Structure 1
Amino acid sequence: MVNKTVYDLYDWKEDVSGKYILSTCVQSIILVVGVIGNAFVITIYTWHLKPKKDDRYFIPILAWIDLLGCIFASAKSLVENQYPLKYISSFSCKILNFGTAIFIVSSILLLMVISVQRYQKICRPFGFQMTLKVKRIAAILTILLAGTLSVQSFIMHENVKVFHENRNISGYECASVPGTLKDSFQYIIIVIEGFSIVCMCLMYGLVGRAIMKRFGREEDVTSDKNGEPNHNSRNKLISRRRFSLMFMLISLVSIVCFITSWTFILLQRKDPAFWRKLSFGQAQVSLIFRRFYILNHAVNPLFYGFFDPKFRRQMKTLFYNFKRYITRNVRDVKLDLSADSSQQSEMS
């Protein structure tokens, strides 16, 4: 057997891919959880709860964005992990980057729109409220703006040749083409996302203050002219507060995820050799935080399940019907097998 003494592209690829093991496991789990969770949300809110005229209107739209965002972002990460230095094709690079970008931007812009809606409902309940038409226009404009901003990801990404820093070895990875205007577009997106974050913080700050101020006056607000409890008004008030708190927490998680990812992007921008300087263990953990934005697409169904009792009831009904269906089919199969066995015994 001949000992290998030449360090080649295969060895370089093995060294790099070893740093992606933990990231691959985490991204796979996030992908499964995100796809299943958001699929349940879309099914229940679209066909069972019919959210067009209440606080749930934006939930199925956000769930579609999260579902597709989870698929594109996880696929992008997993392909990069699976084919380091030997990326599959420029077209795949462009599509995955474009899909990832459009759903990231759509998510944060839609959350900003939702924060404005919650502000109107809690702080200005007798003022202008978003009608169904306004909600539809806001959702469409959000996706169109996100698509416009994300076109640069399709244009500027492709297979780029990279070189080993110490050896005469080269490979290909999915990256922005050198000499393009990627930095300018990224700064524009950072400014827009930063504005959205500031807007959400401001809106939910006012919402939180309004809820705390009115908490002590709840009995007065939910009583009729005779001083008797008005249970319908009370339930509406509690529901409105519950949904406001839910969207507040969803936005908070989103902000933490995006800030974490952008921190590592800026560190990499400041020092191109940032990742190469990390130890094996540091690279494993840092890469997970670098892709923390994907978690934003997967965790929202947990908040819907915790804060929306109607969603929980529909989930229980869905699982109960599924269990009955499986049990009935298993019983039928057993009966068929038993009948076949009896026929064979009689024939023998």
Structure 2
Amino acid sequence: MDNITVSEWNEIITKTLIPNIVILMIYVVLGTCGNILVLLVYFFQMKGSSDERYFIPILAVFDMVVTIYCGIFLIIQCFYTVTFTNNALCKTAQFFAGFTTFIPILLLLIIAVQRYLKVCMPNKPAMSLRVKRFALILTIVVSLVCAFPLPFVYGSIPFHSVTYGITGTNCGKLKDGQQIARAVYAIVIGFLAVAMVTTLIVLYSKIGCVVVRQFKLNKLNSDREEVRKSEKKIDNKEVSDIGQNGGIPTPVTSDADSNISNTSLVKNHQITLTGSKRRQKSNRRITHKLTIMFFVITLVFVLSYLPKVVLLIIEGLYDDFWEKVSNKERPGAFFIYEMFIINNIVNPFIYAFMDIKFRKKATVFLSRVLHCRF
């Protein structure tokens, strides 16, 4: 095609990215509706929930922000792939994209630490409300620090077409100048990413070992209880048989009354202990289920971000990577680049699938809304 303009070239690219635009719109709708549902359920149906779920509504807020902001920003980039001429807007948008993205990631690290303390150190004091609030403020501050260099790394840059022999303007990584700053930033962010993933793996590995050990112990105790009950049934049956076969009645004495009274006290004490143990067992089961749920959320985070990290590494090694991507390859590359948003939209579905209490409360809430009895 000869004498093509930048605007016409941009239109061609936009047409090839229509599937990506549709997918991003679905992401925005699902992420917004899902996370709003989580917030409404926690606000109206689960007020005063235990500290086990403290970070869930907070995570939902930032997940929703990331979904809306990054989803819309990526849609705009699809429409202005080679005509993004506003340098200030590009820098500002990249800063807030980084800032909003870092917060949920760091929250997952805090949640992992909380689960570790809860499961692996049950006898030590849990995270206090003050510590949780401090951790949240620290998360925001660290995210700001990590996002601060982004305006110096990104901007409106020339985007050359080998096919059409023309040059447009794209919002991407700067190629000229600040090379040392870009290299240092890439190394620091890469180190933090590796350190965080390693920390998550170590924490959840230790948590997993404790959970498996306690599951085995619970099964062993359950088997012993079954054997004890079975033996007790046999003993009771033998006593019953003796009575039916004309056993000699034993006169009741004051000592016997005392023994009966003592036996009754022991039984009552055993019932109290049994109730306490059941409560402890129930609390431990809830802790384990929520821990497994948070582990799944973290696993989804790693899997959804890994493709983008690989793409960013390739982009860093080859400055002209996106310029050499053909129109047929671009939708696939963009899809991989956009996959990180999945991390911010799936959490409500994970809660619904793995958190029985949330599922019940959400069902009640939706039923009230649908029947106008809210």
Q: Report the CA distance shift for 1:46/1:325 in structure 2 as closer, same or farther (over 3 A).
A: closer
Moved over 6 A (4+): none
Aligned to 1:290: 337
Q: 2:8 and 2:21 mapped to 1: Cα distance?
A: 20
Q: Retained in 2: the 8 A contact 1:72–1:96?
A: no
Map residues 265-280 of structure 1 onto 2, 5 A cutoff. Answer: 265-280=312-327
Q: 2:93 and 2:213 mapped to 1: Cα distance?
A: 46
Aligned to 2:229: none
Aligned partner letter, 1:306 = F
Q: 1:214 and 1:11 mapped to 2: Cα distance?
A: 64
Aligned partner letter, 2:90 = C
Aligned partner letter, 1:108 = I
Aligned to 1:179: 177
Q: Retained in 2: the 8 A contact 1:105–1:193?
A: no
Aligned partner letter, 1:214 = Q
Q: Bigger CA drift: 99-108 or 165-174?
A: 165-174
Q: Report the CA distance shift for 1:279/1:161 in structure 2 as closer, same or farther (over 3 A).
A: closer
Q: 1:160 and 1:47 mapped to 2: Cα distance?
A: 48
Match of 2:74 among 72, 77, 86: 77
- Superposition deviation, residue 316 in structure 1: 1.3
Root-mean-square deviation over aligned CA pairs: 2.5
Deviations 1:221-271 (A, max 9, x none): 9x9956736332222111100110000000011011111111011112222
Aligned to 1:258: 305
1:158 partner SS = strand
Map residues 167-246 of structure 1 onto 2, 5 A cutoff. Answer: 169-177=166-174, 178-180=176-178, 181-218=181-218, 220=221, 228=274, 230-246=277-293
Gaps of 5+ in 2: 226-268
Q: Could you tell me the TM-score, scaled by structure 1's length?
A: 0.85
Q: Report the CA distance shift for 1:141/1:240 in structure 2 as closer, same or farther (over 3 A).
A: same
Q: Bigger CA drift: 164-173 or 33-42?
A: 164-173
- Superposition deviation, residue 207 in structure 1: 0.7
Aligned to 1:64: 61
Q: Report the CA distance shift for 1:108/1:310 in structure 2 as closer, same or farther (over 3 A).
A: same
- Superposition deviation, residue 108 in structure 1: 1.6
Deviations 1:146-182 (A, max 9, x none): 1111012234433223333365522222123331323
1:171 partner SS = strand
Aligned to 1:152: 149
Q: Retained in 1: the 8 A contact 2:63–2:344?
A: yes
Identity among equivalent pairs (%): 24
Which gives a bigger RCO, structure 1 or 2 (Cα 8 Å, sep 6+)? 2
Aligned partner letter, 1:311 = F
Aligned to 1:19: 16
Count of equivalent residues? 323
Gaps of 5+ in 1: 329-348
Q: Retained in 2: the 8 A contact 1:176–1:182?
A: no
1:313 equivalent in alignment to 2:311: no
Q: Retained in 2: the 8 A contact 1:66–1:298?
A: yes
Q: Retained in 1: the 8 A contact 2:32–2:64?
A: yes
1:50 partner SS = coil
- Superposition deviation, residue 198 in structure 1: 0.7
